[in-house]
Amino acid sequence: MAVCCEIDNLKGRREVILDDMNSWINFSSCLENHLLLSSPIYRRQLFLIRSFGGYCCKAHMEGQGAASGKITALEADAETVIRKITPVLDPRRHKGQAGKIAVIGGCREYTGAPYFAAISALKIGADLSHVFCTKDASPVIKGYSPELIVHPVLEESYSVRDDEKASVAKRVLAEVSKWMERFDCLVVGPGLGRDPFLLDCVSDIMKHARKSNIPTVIDGDGLFLVTSNLDLVKGYHLAVLTPNVNEYKRLIEKALNTEVNEDDAPEQLLSLAKCIGGVTILRKGNSDLVSDGVTVNKVSNFGSPRRCGGQGDILSGCVAVFSSWARSSNKEMDDKSASSPMMLGCIAGSSLLRRAASLAFADKKRATLTSDIIECLGKSLEDMIPAEQG
Amino acid sequence: MAVCCEIDNLKGRREVILDDMNSWINFSSCLENHLLLSSPIYRRQLFLIRSFGGYCCKAHMEGQGAASGKITALEADAETVIRKITPVLDPRRHKGQAGKIAVIGGCREYTGAPYFAAISALKIGADLSHVFCTKDASPVIKGYSPELIVHPVLEESYSVRDDEKASVAKRVLAEVSKWMERFDCLVVGPGLGRDPFLLDCVSDIMKHARKSNIPTVIDGDGLFLVTSNLDLVKGYHLAVLTPNVNEYKRLIEKALNTEVNEDDAPEQLLSLAKCIGGVTILRKGNSDLVSDGVTVNKVSNFGSPRRCGGQGDILSGCVAVFSSWARSSNKEMDDKSASSPMMLGCIAGSSLLRRAASLAFADKKRATLTSDIIECLGKSLEDMIPAEQG
């Protein structure tokens, strides 16, 4: 495998292309010894490069050297990440082993978002996809697709009397909790709405998921909830936040008490992720940036200029599945230190969505809708990792 | 018809290819007389081979001869089974004669599963497909397809007061029973859920079906019900159980009070089917195994490595239709002793699902969903038995 690395140090830029991984490891060890030993961030990058075969988490450090360097994110080698973590399609495996995902979302107003997230998970290869939503949303979401398992268990304030709230909240938690251990990942937020009682119930569900070590991807109104109570995810390494420009702004204001700084975007994202105790944050934008508080990666392969609503929901479903696969992959390799399955999941999900959006746009142009992009997820994945090889 | 048979006996393996059925019958009689007379299992295999033209139920007996031999299942000639039992499309026949199926399943949480089972029955050629489900599930299932006849008659505990339960249970049974005699086969279980009151009502329906000699395919939560009360199917030769890996494990533990033994899988399946009094069991897996307590068959033509939820529902619908056709075929031939229409239905259903899954996977790869497989049922059947010939 050819490995390309750009390194800026005090003496200027060097571009080095090495022929194989061993050369890279030798080279990186040399660098580690002589150049950048004092930077934990750079050491972490090197570690990840070695752990995952040099295809992600490249570092780009400018200015005054690594110890005090300004960090810009380099493009992750997302295709190699996807190839590495996507499981082999082995006929000996049985239902559930390729992933069981649950989306917490869907209320009286929003039904499309949880559907997009849940169906995207199936379309890239998960075996089972559940949705936990309100009673009003349930028949509509079921109606979109018989492939989903939809649980009408959430409640909004308008349907619950004040004196019932405690018992209803308890029942909601119990109904979701009995399923919790079966899931490889939760997606919290698509189409959740902002009803205070519902959000209280979802807080309880998130706390329970955290106790059970269930990875959790948080998007949409889930980010509204988390921004108002950062302790819900603080220090939880299996949490991923996927803010868009406005959600990111609110997060920065709340957590760092400052404004978004586009000039130092990777560094600010790194600070934010670190401040929330090492959660992984996928900042969506023209280029997506991902940080877990230790490293920063960029994904910017061409997607689509269409910004139709719902693409974030696809992303959240894909990140959930890819993160689960990365976690399984780490376990199978018994590589407890490889870590950052959530980072890998974000890189893979971001890149796949962009590729699918690009395919859909090539066909539908201005008329491209989210459903068109979902229909391109399979082909996009197939182009990178043919199922027959698996 | 050329008939190929492999027989392992004490003196080693012989492969014999005979030119026609008569030669085969003579040859098998000879074998019966001289080699394996002491084995009732092998005699049964021979009987079935003669009854159905030598295209299924091959026996493979290893080790110390038939009497004490270890049994491994040989591949059934599923295509020939399908050609034999699928009815001719005769314009003089009227609605209903190609099969009337009912699925008992569908509750507040699950609506996809009964839909998959019921629509699959229609897609392979049944004339009418009914679903008996709860009131909540009914509009959703109706919405999936106008082709189905959906009866909102089942009730879950949450909608029934304790003092009403007896009368509601009676009403549910009456509403299903009045239709019962019209059905060629029931499928009990897809999306049934585990509500205790609902399962009690379904127990009553199963007992009624048994009294009326209606063949019954049991899958999903129906297997949960049956595993907790084996008497529901014990000794009922028109019952088929279609357990997946986990459901099979629970059945083995309950009925045989032991663990699953993969090394002697065919023999253990045979014991299980015998223990439950000759029900037919289709054990789903990488290869499907089918036993009625007398013979064991294997179906392992290539399917798909995708394990998306819902494929078992397709199977249950197909087994119901094929079993009905096999039963009619026996009756038409006035061959009361030919028996085992449920075995033939399982072989045909398993093989057709695999073929359809393979076609769908060739097109959709990792994005293959259950609905894609259903869309390939028709072509898969057409490839084996063209409708125009019928």
Tens-digit pLDDT profile for residues A59-108:
444 433 345 567 788 899 999 999 999 999 888 888 888 899 999 999 99
Could you tell me if B39 and B67 are in contact, meaning their C-beta atoms sit under 8 angstroms apart? yes
pLDDT of residue B11: 33
Could you tell me if B118 and B131 are in contact, meaning their C-beta atoms sit under 8 angstroms apart? yes
Burial class of A258 by CB neighbour count within 10 A (0 to 12, 13 to 18, 19+): exposed
Looking at CA atoms only, how far is residue B357 from chain A in angstroms?
Answer: 12
pLDDT of residue B91: 83
B257 touches chain A (CB under 8 A): no
Q: What is the band of B339 on the pLDDT scale with cuts at 50, 70, 90?
A: low
A307 in a known ligand binding site: yes
Distance CA A296, CA A319 (A): 17
Domain B91-373 belongs to what topology? UDP-N-acetylmuramoyl-L-alanine:D-glutamate ligase (3.40.1190)
Burial class of A97 by CB neighbour count within 10 A (0 to 12, 13 to 18, 19+): middle
Burial class of A147 by CB neighbour count within 10 A (0 to 12, 13 to 18, 19+): buried
pLDDT of residue A35: 39
> What whole-number percentage of chain B has pLDDT above 90?
73
B50 in a known ligand binding site: no
Token pair 């929003």 is at which residue?
A110
Taking an 8 Å cut-off on Cβ atoms, the answer to whether A146 and B371 are in contact is yes
B279 in a known ligand binding site: no
Distance CA A341, CA A338 (A): 8
Q: Which residue type sits at A15?
A: E
| Dihedral over Cα of A177, A182, A184, A188: its sign | negative
pLDDT of residue A32: 39
- Among chain B residues, CA nearest to A128: B309
pLDDT of residue A47: 47
Which residues of chain A are under the pLDDT cut of 70?
Answer: 1-69, 334-339, 389-390
Strands (E), B181-238: 185-188, 216-218
Q: For residue range B168-223, what is the model confidence (pLDDT) as tens digits?
A: 999 999 999 999 999 999 999 999 999 999 999 999 999 999 999 999 999 999 99
pLDDT of residue A25: 37
Tokens, residue A184: 């490889």
Alpha-helical segments (H) within chain A: 21-34, 40-51, 78-85, 112-123, 138-144, 165-180, 196-211, 221-228, 245-256, 265-275, 311-332, 341-364, 370-375, 377-384
Residues pairing with B16 in the sheet: B5
Looking at CA atoms only, how far is residue B305 from chain A in angstroms?
Answer: 4
Q: CA nearest A7: which of A48, A63, A53, A56?
A: A63
Distance CA A177, CA B325 (A): 44
Taking an 8 Å cut-off on Cβ atoms, the answer to whether B307 and A142 are in contact is no
SS (H, E, C) B225-291: HHHHCHHHCCCCCCEEECCCHHHHHHHHHHHHCCCCCCCCHHHHHHHHHHHCCCCEEEECCCCEEEE
Distance CA B78, CA A34 (A): 68
Taking an 8 Å cut-off on Cβ atoms, the answer to whether A97 and B307 are in contact is yes
* Residue B163 reports pLDDT greater than 80: yes
Q: CA nearest A375: which of B375, B367, B360?
A: B367
Taking an 8 Å cut-off on Cβ atoms, the answer to whether A94 and B140 are in contact is no
Looking at CA atoms only, how far is residue A377 from chain B in angstroms?
Answer: 8
Average pLDDT across chain B, whole number:
85
Q: Which region among A218-232, B4-18, B204-218, B282-296 has the lowest average model confidence (pLDDT)?
A: B4-18
Q: Report domain extents, chain A.
A: 3-75, 85-373
pLDDT of residue B71: 79
CB-defined contacts A:B, below 8 A: 97
Instruction: Name, in order, each residue with C-beta under 8 angstroms of B364's C-beta and a sequence gap of 6 or more.
Output: A378, B372
Distance CA A219, CA A312 (A): 8
| Dihedral over Cα of B370, B372, B375, B378: its sign | negative
- Among chain A residues, CA nearest to B284: A94
User: How do strand B70-75 and strand B59-62 relate by DSSP bridges?
Assistant: antiparallel
Distance CA A98, CA A87 (A): 7
Spell out which residues of chain A touch residue B309, defining contact as CB-CB under 8 Å.
Answer: 95, 127-128, 147, 149
pLDDT of residue A70: 76
Q: CA nearest A370: which of A356, A384, A382, A380?
A: A356
Looking at CA atoms only, how far is residue A149 from chain B in angstroms?
Answer: 6
Taking an 8 Å cut-off on Cβ atoms, the answer to whether A128 and B245 are in contact is no
* Residue B35 reports pLDDT greater than 70: no
Q: CA nearest B329: which of B12, B56, B111, B40?
A: B56
- Among chain B residues, CA nearest to A96: B307
Q: CA nearest B118: which of B174, B214, B202, B183?
A: B183
Taking an 8 Å cut-off on Cβ atoms, the answer to whether B308 and A147 are in contact is yes
A178 touches chain B (CB under 8 A): no
pLDDT of residue A334: 67
pLDDT of residue A335: 63
Taking an 8 Å cut-off on Cβ atoms, the answer to whether A96 and B307 are in contact is yes
Could you tell me if B305 and A390 are in contact, meaning their C-beta atoms sit under 8 angstroms apart? yes
Q: Which residue type sits at A144?
A: Y
B245 in a known ligand binding site: yes
B157 touches chain A (CB under 8 A): no
A332 touches chain B (CB under 8 A): no
Q: CA nearest B195: which of B206, B186, B203?
A: B203
User: How do strand A288-291 and strand A296-299 relate by DSSP bridges?
Assistant: antiparallel
B307 in a known ligand binding site: yes
Give the DSSP letter string of B81-143: HHHHHSPP--TT--TTTT-EEEEE---SS--HHHHHHHHHHHHHT-SEEEEEEETTHHHHHHH
Distance CA A254, CA B376 (A): 53
Looking at CA atoms only, how far is residue A83 from chain B in angstroms?
Answer: 13
What dotted CATH number matches A85-373? Answer: 3.40.1190.20
Q: CA nearest A76: which of A368, A316, A290, A292?
A: A290
A35 or B368: which leads in pLDDT: B368
Distance CA A319, CA A315 (A): 6
Taking an 8 Å cut-off on Cβ atoms, the answer to whether A386 and B364 are in contact is no
Taking an 8 Å cut-off on Cβ atoms, the answer to whether B307 and A127 are in contact is yes
Q: What is the band of B368 on the pLDDT scale with cuts at 50, 70, 90?
A: very high
Backbone angles phi, psi at B274, to 5 degrees: -65, -45
pLDDT of residue B70: 77
User: How do strand A296-299 and strand A128-134 relate by DSSP bridges?
Assistant: unpaired
Taking an 8 Å cut-off on Cβ atoms, the answer to whether A147 and B244 are in contact is no
Name the strand (E) or helix (H) holding B71.
Answer: strand B70-75
Looking at CA atoms only, how far is residue A138 from chain B in angstroms?
Answer: 9
A112 in a known ligand binding site: no
A112 touches chain B (CB under 8 A): no
Instruction: Name, in order, each residue with C-beta under 8 angstroms of A252's C-beta and a sequence gap of 6 or more.
Output: A258, A259, A260, A268, A272
pLDDT of residue B389: 61
Q: CA nearest A220: which of A123, A107, A136?
A: A107
Token pair 């990178």 is at which residue?
A384
pLDDT of residue A336: 59
A19 in a known ligand binding site: no
Tell me what the mean pLDDT of segment B377-387 comes to: 95
Taking an 8 Å cut-off on Cβ atoms, the answer to whether B310 and A147 are in contact is yes
Tokens, residue B309: 């939820």
Taking an 8 Å cut-off on Cβ atoms, the answer to whether B369 and A127 are in contact is no
A92 touches chain B (CB under 8 A): yes
Distance CA B188, CA B132 (A): 10
Q: For residue range B40-79, what is the model confidence (pLDDT) as tens digits?
A: 554 444 444 444 544 444 444 443 334 556 778 889 999 9
Residues pairing with A101 in the sheet: A129, A185
Spell out which residues of chain A touch residue B287, defining contact as CB-CB under 8 Å.
Answer: none
Taking an 8 Å cut-off on Cβ atoms, the answer to whether B305 and A146 are in contact is no
| A122, A378, A379 member nearest B308 (Cβ) | A122
A174 touches chain B (CB under 8 A): no
Which range of A70-74, B287-291, B299-303 scores highest in mean pLDDT? It is B287-291
